[in-house]
A = this chain, B = another copy of it.
């Protein structure tokens, strides 16, 4: 055909850019020989042209004329005919589905003449006038932009006049009268008559769908979801079929297998004598597909055949909409179906076992985010529960606690040891204290980028948002939902994986997937007992993780600071430690020593404190290296500003001032206040930290390097196989690294000679400042490895502080679409990612064998791992419990890349 129109018989499922998702799948079904009502798709290209010029392109008008003629010929009916009229539906269909866009106008082609034809053809005058009434109402509202309430009010008046409560009670005559009234509404609301010419109806509807690409809501949605502005939408024109032409007609939806377990079977709903919108509105009870079989075995048989055909063809769970018109089955839509996280794993493995897909493909069907969800505790499926509502799952987990309605109460009750769930209309920065104190957060407003959602995800707190059914009355300390009132202190349970809100206590069970990861497959299967769903799930997870391990190129390390963390990380599959922070080792009873280092007035005093720390620090490293025997263990030298080890300046100032007026001054406090004041920085994040500390207080890094060297020496002498590496934080210039390396190598040489062992301890740089990335070519001269600290790099690249994220502008930015994900959760590919690419390229240009990893929290983020794979990193490092997620995503990334290359 031309440029702007594809007949359903011409497209296929891979043309989503041009035909949108709906159009591409309709074409695919048509080509499979499935009974799709004839029709055609106007391409996104036409939309783009319209948006540029504000007019339907002239060629499009010609092509539509020709396509309509072909359609009329094929169907044997004509638009606007007053005997047997052709009616069409007009539906938008972008590449990505998008709330806020105009969706559908049905019954295009009806007018004062063809309504008679429809009545005759359907032998149902009431049906014909009702269809016409619906067209004018839908067209008036969505195409002509008339206030929908005007139509609804007129309808209500007609029902009142007839004394009925439902429009089913209106007669053909009533509806004919209503059509007249609706036409008046159109005339008065738009200044024009309702268009009688079917082609005019069609052109206006097409233009309206194109226009709806640019509604504020659609634009905001695209901004948030990072959908390009210039894609445009396709428009699908399809012959109308009617499920509401009596008892031999109906409409339904079905899945080719159970979307919550993956079991193959017949899952779906059917509604006799109804149209699609009736199923969705839920006003009548639906039948099961089994009942449909009994009702119409022929149509049911055809449907089953179509389902098998689609699943074999798409090689995945399909979600189908269909209509039966007087016994004849019509397929209206299909797409790959949504499923739960557990079902995703089980279905992927089932499809492998059914020889429909390979293990590589199966990896593409699951995600790290799904695995992550499976690792949270869940409500016990066998526990009784009272569902209050279902809303947006914003941060996973299962939380049970007393409902509280403000932050101070949450804090106070939590301090008494109570578990509380903070319920708010929406949260703001003032609620932060309450959010921290709560086991769960529930809001009645906001989406997944609202303040509550962003902050709760950041804190790992279970959260549900946008529960609009809830009427939250904070002043009355209660909420109502579905006529039920829940008061402060009553128990509620929220499922951050499913978005379900329950009343009362619900038993929580640990995740069977975590049990598998920690204790192995056999133990997890045994623990599942007779719950075959659970056993099948852990087996599926196991097979997919094992395949990911063989498929991936990226290594997965863990961030672990203690021997216990190291052991856990190793059991979860970590192939090394990518970040062992050493500052935690100066806390607790050692704090007094580091305080002495800081407050020392001369070198000898400082050195004495450092000397006291040496055996403690060495013992820490021996423990970790013992756990990580044979595997790389990257130890980062101390990073945070030293005043973090001292008391808060303001609190201390108030204390000293009050003691002063009371005549009870404590000289130690006064001295401490002076020291803290001297060390105070306007912006500690940009202050005396990391390598700067090491160069200003040389004894500090020297202590740590010596402790590493002596620990490695001891492990070697004990017959171990330690692989310690020393990482220098916050490097901005290669000069810093040269200076540290000179010092460190002298110490390593000295310990090596004294202990009589060969110490091979690589020294590398943490790349966490923009300058380090930009000058990576020079830094690689002095670094044997790079490790990206993407948390800090996000702060400096964007110029905002993680400490302040919960503050004023972050949720505002999520709401207005500046940020979709928090760049602290998922790597900002355009900004921070660009620096990563630059650093990898320049670093490897200097030193091709440079080992490069990432140890920021992005290392464990499913959405970021594919980026790190593509950027050419050698490993990602993340917290121990993210290791399985990272293993899975690393496998997926490599398989996806290989797939892209062979395609």
By a CB distance below 8 angstroms, the chain B residues around A812 are 695-696
B732 pairs with A831, CB closer than 8 A: yes
A816 contacts across to B, CB distance below 8 A: 695, 735, 739
16 contacts between A and B (CB under 8 A): A658-B658, A682-B801, A683-B684, A686-B799, A687-B807, A692-B800, A696-B809, A696-B812, A732-B798, A732-B831, A733-B818, A735-B817, A768-B799, A770-B797, A771-B830, A775-B831
A671–chain B nearest beta-carbon distance, Å: 15
Q: Is residue A221 within 8 Å, beta carbon to beta carbon, of the partner chain?
A: no
Q: Which residues of B contact A792 (CB under 8 A)?
A: 799
Q: Does A803 contact B (CB under 8 A)?
A: yes
Residue of B nearest to A812 (CB): B696
Q: Is A391 an interface residue (CB 8 A)?
A: no
Q: Give the docked Cα–Cα distance between A769 and B830 (Å).
A: 13
Least CB distance from A652 to B in Å reads 9
- For residue A804, which residues in chain B have a CB less than 8 angstroms away from its CB? 681-683, 686-688
Interface check A514, CB cutoff 8 A: no
Residue of A774, A795, A831 with most partner-chain B CB within 10 A:
A774
Q: List the B side residues contacting A429 at CB < 8 Å.
A: 678
CB contacts (< 8 Å) of A831 on chain B: these are 732-733, 770-771, 774-775
Residues in B neighbouring A798, C-beta threshold 8 A: 732, 769, 771
Contact partners of A803 in chain B: CB under 8 A: 681-683
How many whole Å from A540's CB to the nearest CB in chain B?
40
Instruction: List B contacts of A682 (CB < 8 A).
Output: 684-685, 801, 803-804
Contacting B at CB under 8 A, from A727-750, are 730, 732-733, 735-736, 739
Docked complex Cα distance between A796 and B792 (Å): 10
Q: A799 is contacted by which of B430, B658, B796, B835 (Cβ under 8 Å)?
A: B796
Interface residues in A, total, Cβ within 8 A: 61
Residue A413 interfacial (CB < 8 Å): no
> A796, B808: Cβ atoms under 8 Å?
no
- Is B801 a contact partner of A686 (Cβ separation < 8 A)? yes
Chain B residue at minimum C-beta to C-beta distance from A733:
B818
Asked whether any CB of chain B lies closer than 8 Å to the CB of A147, the reply is no
Q: How far is the CA of A662 from the CA of B660 in the complex (A)?
A: 13
Known contacts A649-B650, A817-B735: does B770 contact A688 (CB below 8 Å)? no
Q: A112 on the interface (CB 8 Å rule)?
A: no
| Residue in B662, B686, B696, B813 whose beta carbon sits within 8 Å of that of A685 in the complex | B686
Q: In chain B, what residue has the closest Cβ to A654?
A: B657
Decide if A834 touches B774 in the complex (CB within 8 Å). yes
CB-contact partner of A801 in B683, B769, B834, under 8 A: B683
By Cβ-Cβ distance, the 4 closest A-B pairs, closest first, are A771-B831, A686-B801, A682-B803, A770-B770
**B residues less than 8 Å from A475 (CB atoms):** none
Instruction: Check: A661 CB closer than 8 A to any chain B CB.
Output: yes
* Alpha-carbon gap, A304 to B681, bound state (A): 62
How far in angstroms is the closest Cβ of chain B from A779? 11
Give A contacts to B, CB under 8 Å.
223, 429-430, 649-650, 653-654, 657-658, 661-662, 678, 681-688, 692, 695-696, 730, 732-733, 735-736, 739, 768-771, 774-775, 778, 792, 795-801, 803-804, 807-809, 812-813, 816-819, 828, 830-832, 834-835
Nearest B residue to A777 via CB reads: B830
Which secondary structure dominates where chain A touches chain B?
helix
Distance of A223 Cα from B733 Cα, bound (Å): 12
Chain B residues with CB under 8 Å of A684's CB are 682-683
Known interface pairs A683-B685, A685-B686, A685-B799; 19 further A-B residue pairs with C-beta atoms within 8 A, sorted by A's residue number:
A223-B735, A430-B678, A657-B657, A681-B803, A681-B804, A682-B684, A682-B801, A682-B804, A683-B801, A686-B686, A686-B804, A687-B804, A732-B800, A732-B831, A733-B818, A733-B819, A735-B817, A771-B798, A792-B799
Using A683-B684, A688-B804 as known contacts, say yes or no to A774 and B797 having CB atoms under 8 A apart.
yes
Contact B688 A828, beta carbon cutoff 8 Å: no
Known A774-B831, A775-B831, A799-B792; contact A688-B658, beta-carbon cutoff 8 A: no
Q: Cβ of B653 and Cβ of A687 under 8 Å apart?
A: no
Residues of B within 8 A of A768 (CB): 799
The reply to whether A769 and B658 contact each other, CB–CB distance below 8 Å, is: no
Of the candidates B430, B678, B686, B736, the one whose C-beta lies within 8 Å of that of A683 is B686
Q: Check A681/B807 contact, CB under 8 A, given A796-B797, A799-B792, A813-B695.
A: yes
Q: Which residue of B lies closest to A690 (CB)?
A: B799
Is there an interface contact between B657 and A688, defined as CB atoms closer than 8 Å?
no
Q: Can you name the residue of chain B whose Cβ is closest to the Cβ of A697?
A: B808
- The residues of B that contact A813 with a CB separation of less than 8 Å are 692, 695
Chain B contacts of A828 at CB under 8 A?
A: 771
Q: How far is the CB of A455 from chain B (nearest CB, A)?
A: 16
Interface centre among A739, A808, A812 (most CB of B within 10 A): A808
Complexed CA–CA distance, A157 and B223 (Å)? 89
A222 to chain B, nearest CB (A): 11
- Distance of A566 Cα from B429 Cα, bound (Å): 41
B692→A809 contact, CB < 8 A:
yes
A799 near B688 (CB under 8 angstroms)?
no
Partner of A730, one of B730, B736, B799: B799
Residues of B within 8 A of A678 (CB): 429-430
Closest-by-CB residue of B relative to A769 is B799
Would you call A796 and B770 a contact (CB within 8 A)?
A: yes
Q: How far is the CA of A676 from the CA of B798 in the complex (A)?
A: 25
Give the distance in Å from the alpha carbon of A841 to the alpha carbon of B771 in the complex: 19
